[in-house]
Amino acid sequence: MASNVYRNGTGSHKGATRPLAASNSSNVKSTSFKSRIPPSNHSPGSAPLRRSNSAGGSDGVPGRVRVAVRLRPRNAEESVADADFADCVELQPELKRLKLRKNNWDSETYEFDEVLTEFASQKRVYEVVAKPVVESVLDGYNGTVMAYGQTGTGKTFTLGRLGEEDTSARGIMVRSMEEILANVSPETDSVSVSYLQLYMESIQDLLDPANDNISIVEDPKTGDVSLPGATHVEVRDERDFMELLRTGEAHRIAANTKLNTESSRSHAILMVHVKRSVLGAEDVIPSETDKSSHFAKPPKPLVRKSKLVLVDLAGSERVHKSGSEGHMLEEAKSINLSLSALGKCINALAENSAHVPVRDSKLTRLLRDSFGGTARTSLIVTIGPSPRHRGETTSTILFGQRAMKVENMLRIKEEFDYKSLSRKLEIHLDKLIAENERQQKVFDDEVERINLEALNRVSEVERNFAGALEKERLKCQMEYMESVKKLEEKMIENQQKHGCDGFMQDKCNGEGPGSSIVEDVAEVKKLLEKEIHMRKEAQEEVNKLKSQLGQCPDSGEGGGSEILKLQKALADEVRQKKKLEEEMIILRSQMLQLTFEADQMRRCLGRNGSANAYGGLDSPMSQVRGSLNGHKTPVAALFEQVGLQKILALLESEDANVRIHAVKVVANLAAEEANQERIVEAGGLTSLLVLLRSYEDENIRRVVAGAIANLAMNETNQELIMIQGGINLLSVTASRAEDPQTLHMVAGAIANLCGNDKLQTKLRSEGGIKALLGMARCGQPDVLSQVARGIANFAKCESRASTNGIKSGRSVLIDDGALPWIVQNANNDSSPIRRHIELALCHLAQHEVNAKDMISGGALWELVRISRDCSREDIRSLARRTLNLSPIFRAEMRRLRIEV
């Protein structure tokens, strides 16, 4: 017994072992099955329609089922078995007649709408059978093309041939879709496809084999049949459709019988749903004032929905001829029952019977619209020439004759196209918005032009003013230069006049400019001491008044007036104290300025070769410096005397040198843990981050980074640095800096942050790890040492998180590409770098998930070296313990025959 197989759609049939030979049918005029239908308007966005019904969907157009007969040529078996017998049919295509021979002297004649010989080409068959139906579908009507006949007579060849190797052999399915796709507009129209098979009274989806029991749904109002459970695939081009056909044919059930090597065991149904946008007829409204004039409403957008059904029926067969047994016998019974039910329906329709048994089979329910419904239907019956199958041929011909008597009432299904109207309104709205934006842009451009013109005028005035100011400055500078030159000439003249010895004596007696400067410095020093003494007296007076105020009893009104007097005197003392402090600051600045001028004068005189002559100046100047140095206090004492807020205020000074010195003072203060909390509370950290963000000066960035590095030694400060965006600022500074000292400070700050378990995620997300690795480009040992320290700190935190179960997965350092650099520098000549790298490798190796990456990256050999040759015992022990506890490392060492 032959078993069921899946058909691929391209195999040959036993009844059609060779393709139908092409004839000179191009010279034969094709006969159209189509009735004359008035044309209608179509939307301008889609392909033009050939014909349509302007009457709408209520009034139908009568259309009879058109039937064509096609004769299959003899196959190899029939050529041998029936060599001595004539064909049982004789075709008269020019008369559209067919003669069926009963014997050598008697025959019956039948007329069809088209008679196709065995030499008719596939193109000829499509043009006379399916093309009129396809054109009606494009006009909005439903259409059906169905093939009926004995098994092995070429139904699948006629309808479903793919023609991949020979395009001339393409069947009706492929050619119909080609014409539909060529006549629809992708912008406004849509085409979707469903491919089904009716097997053993079960509707199965050929595009989704798992969907094998699809139910039929009928509209109770219109009686339309639909399959909501079927797969609908939208088709854009012929290639997509061919792929769907190949998929469906691969899932269609076929079997090997005596009559056909690939006999279809199911009815194949291809449904093509077409939606097209059209324009309805214009409504004409007569005018009230002038009956001869009319107003025409714009045409309404409509959508027409049509359906093309292509049915490849399974072949009717007699069991004793096909040799079906077992399950194939059950299949044959199911096929014959469904075809028998179809024949009963057609008989009832042909005889105008009051009852049509459409519910006897799912096949007749699916084809309800095709026979006696609203679809344009073409039927092609296929027959064979062998006299041995005269009975099956006669049955097929009579089936076609009865089908020709069935009348359908064709209707167009039109709906108001809300989507198209919505799209048009959206397009119009977009145009209005675009026009509004264009006008707004013109207005903005005009405003910008006026602003630019005003700015140009302002710039011109500023340039004129700057030019005048520059001229005035140059003039003053020239006058100053001339005055200096005159003074120098007088000085030289005096030297020549009085002689070198007299000049030196004058200077030693304090009559020269150096002596006057020393006197000024001494005078300023006395004033400063006086102000300090006055400040102490004022402070004592304030304290005295405070104590008197506290001891003063409450004595009524007299006591209240006394308190007010004391409070007023106290306020006066506070104002006086503040004034004294301001004067002290001014005096100190004057002292520093005078000291600087004295040094400048001494260097100037030394350059003039008069160092020996002015040697007497060294003693008083050194005395001034000694006295100043005697009053210098260490940084901590300065912190107490001057006040932190005043030091921090200098960070905002416009003088770059003042800013740098202020940052240095803050950095020195931050080096002592006792001062860090006070600096942060006073806003010092925020001020430092602002400086790092605002200034591009390399010196400022270097000193600021050092101060932040000192503050980053405290865990609380580390979190504050993260919250205020310090990690990102340090990363950006690292990418821009080129100076090794700056990179050293930045790397130190990031290395301190790497030791905080809470900052691991932030360090990676804000680029801290990549910035740390990027600074290795410098190559300077101090920078590399800080980079290695940061990596070791980060690896240690990761190892701790993995041990506690907080972190899982591969190390961030390995993900960011740090492993090659670590391995490369594991044996660095610098001891600090090597020690940090060795610790980092040991911490990375403690997490098992990193083992494979470390082995592939060459880190295993470095771990073995560390376990043997490291100078520190604790690191050697850690490396050995890590290698012995890791199964992956142990397995690799066994493979490489390494012993630790």
Return binding residues for ATP: 149-156
Upper half-sphere CA count for residue 577 (Cβ side, 13 Å): 14
What's the chain's Rg over C-alpha atoms?
53
> Can you read off the two tokens belonging to residue 595?
């000291």
Q: Are 795 and 840 in contact (CB under 8 A)?
A: yes
Is residue 277 within 8 A of residue 306, CB to CB? The reply is no
Compute the CA torsion angle 71, 367, 169, 191 (nearest 10 deg): 160
**φ, ψ for residue 111 (rounded to 5)?**
-110, 140
Please report where in the chains the tokens 């014959």 appear, as a residue.
Answer: 336
DSSP label at residue 282: P
DSSP 450-488: HHHHHHHHHHHHHHHHHHHHHHHHHHHHHHHHHHHHHHH
Burial of 531 (0-12, 13-18, 19+ CB in 10 A): middle
**CA proximity to 179, closest of 216, 217, 132, 229:** 132
CB 311 within 8 A of CB 147: yes
Query: What is the crossing angle of helices 673-681 and 656-670, to 10°?
Result: 130
The residue to which tokens 């430092």 are assigned: 688
> Residues within the annotated binding site?
149-156
* Number of other residues whose CB lies within 10 A of the CB of residue 40: 22
> Strand runs (DSSP E) across 237-343, as ranges?
252-255, 263-264, 267-279, 284-286, 294-296, 301-312
- 485: burial class by Cβ within 10 Å (0-12, 13-18, 19+)? exposed
How far is residue 764's CA from residue 25's CA, in Å, rounded to a whole number? 77
Q: How far apart are CA 532 and CA 641, in angstroms?
A: 13
Q: Are strands 66-71 and 114-116 parallel, antiparallel or unpaired?
A: parallel
- Tell me the C-alpha distance between 420 and 410, whole Å: 26
Neighbouring residues of 650: CB distance < 8 A, sequence distance ≥ 6: 658, 659, 661, 662
And the tokens for 481? Answer: 């230069």
Please give the structure tokens belonging to residue 290: 């002038």
Structure tokens at 40: 């209608």
Q: Distance (Å, rounded) from C-alpha 690 to C-alpha 381?
A: 91
Q: 294-296 and 114-116: which strand pairing?
A: unpaired
Beta carbons of 659 and 651 less than 8 angstroms apart = yes
CB 155 within 8 A of CB 149: yes
> What is the b/e burial string over 112-147, where b = at least 16 CB atoms within 10 angstroms of the residue's CB?
bbbbbbbebbbbbbbbbbbbbbbbbbbbbbbbbbbb
